[in-house]
Amino acid sequence: MFVSSLVLVFSCALTFLNAGDVYPPPELMEEIVNPLHEMCTTRLSKSDADVASYNIETNTPDMKCYMKCLMLESKWMKESGQIDYDFIISNAHPSVKDIILAAIDKCMHVEYNDDLCEHAYNFNVCLHNADSVHYFLP
């Protein structure tokens, strides 16, 4: 259940925001996004402000490792560094599955990097470039 919830978090990162909708829903933020964010910010000694002010074009080592933490904890990336596309696709929340599939389709061939922080960053850059309107870093 927790893993599926974490997949939903990343699914939310690419969700379409309709005018007037509050998204992600506050209950999702409270129950799922915030714990994942808290886990990775605590582990890496990052502040909420560090994450909130981060720009994807600024490739600082600490934020790359924050992305690695998010991807490992959500099971989007295996400990080996392999992006688990099958897991992402099969666990995408139905309400955002089309958006996720479109972005993932553009990022299926992100070149592997032995530095898993760099690898996670490269994947996130690809997702951002694939759909910058719906991407956000939790």
The encoded tokens of residue 111 equal 């070149």
Angle CA 24–125–42, to nearest 5: 60
Residue 118 confidence (pLDDT) above 60: yes
Q: Does domain 2-130 have CATH number 1.20.1250.20?
A: no
CB 85 within 8 A of CB 108: yes
Band of pLDDT at residue 51, cut at 50, 70 and 90: very high
81-90 mean pLDDT:
95
45-57 mean pLDDT:
91
pTM: 0.79
Q: At what angle do helices 2-12 and 97-106 cross, to 10 degrees?
A: 70
Residue 122 confidence (pLDDT) above 60: yes
CA distance 99 to 105: 10
30-40 mean pLDDT:
78
Residue 16 confidence (pLDDT) above 80: no
80-100 mean pLDDT:
86
The better pLDDT of the pair 20, 104 is held by 104
Q: Where in the chain are the domains? A: 2-130
What pLDDT was estimated at residue 18? 43
